[in-house]
Structure formats: structure tokens, C-alpha cells
Amino acid sequence: MREFMSRIVFVRHARPRIVEGVPSAEWELDAEGRRAAELLAERLRVYTFPEAVCSPEPKALATAQPIARKFGIPVVIDEGLSEHQRRTVDIVSREIAERRIAALFDNPGDVVFGEESADACFARFSCAIKSRLPSEKDLLFVTHGTVLTIFLSRVCGFEPMPFWHKLGLPSAVVLKGREVEVLNP
């Protein structure tokens, strides 16, 4: 992928309220997550975004809305920004979840966790990003940690697991060329 002309800001959603028996794709933000999304919106005030392109998942949408309000811009839903597909995965311990995420990163062509391979996830996400390039304006994409890690680790050439560990709930990841900066509020 060629280097980007504009600054691209990827936002990982804020902390959700975990609900047993409900797929993570349907989780909403908890109270702390809503406050953190507001704080992140303030931290992003140095950018100029024409729109907030957002995953359709409720936790991403609830993270995008305060940012969009702060900038007076619309939220545009893009299915391509959804998280790695894992609707059939039950809630597990952090340790087990991390092992499954690592297996996903280590076996990109195989469906080893959830219903989608890392390769398929990358292809879907890349199409969503490329559809808005090139751009002379800063771009904002509100998305999820695993899909974002798959994308950026491939585009920028770094190891995925250490990056995935760096991401907070929420985080902003600024991409300028191939330089990556992680901002946690």
C-alpha cells in the first residue's frame, strides 16, 4: 500500500460493558467508556476531519458520536471497519483471549478464532480505508483493536501482539506515512 498523503487517525473504541451471552459485536459502552470517549474527543481537537467513518458496532458508534459532535461532522457507518468476526466466541479469561488473538496473528490464512481469518479481515478493512484515499484532509476511522492491529502491522511492518497490547480503551492511533503514534487519553 502506498504512503498516505493525509494524517489518518484510527480510534479504537472505548471500554464496553461486557454482557455474558451477548456477542461482543453488540456491546455498548459502560459509563467509564462514555467519559473516556469524551476525553479522547478533546484530545483530537488539533485535527480537521470531514466525517467520522465508523464501524456499525454499538461500542464504536458510541465512541464516534462525541468526536463527531465536537467537530460538527457526520458519522458515516462502514461495515468494513467492523471488528474481526467472532460472534460465536464465548467470554473467556484474558489469558485465553490473548492466546487466541496471538494464534490469529500467527496463522493469518486460517480461521483459528471466530469466523474470519486475519487475511480476510485485512482485505475487508483495507477496502474500507482505500475507498477514502487519497485525501488532502485528515481522516478519522473509529474501529476495533484486533482489526486495527492486523491492518497496521501489515501496512507498517511491525509485530502485531506488542502493538495490540499498547492499545487502550479508547486509543487514537495517528498514521502519517508509515509513522505510527498511539495516543491514550
DSSP state of 46: T
Domain spans in the chain, listed from the N-terminal domain onward: 8-183
Is residue 38 a contact partner of residue 32, using CB atoms and an 8 Å limit?
no
Residues 67, 91: contact at Cβ < 8 Å? no
Q: Which CATH class is domain 8-183?
A: alpha beta
What's this model's pTM, rounded to 2 decimal places? 0.94
* 104-150 confidence digits (pLDDT tens): 999 999 999 999 999 999 999 999 999 999 888 999 999 999 999 99
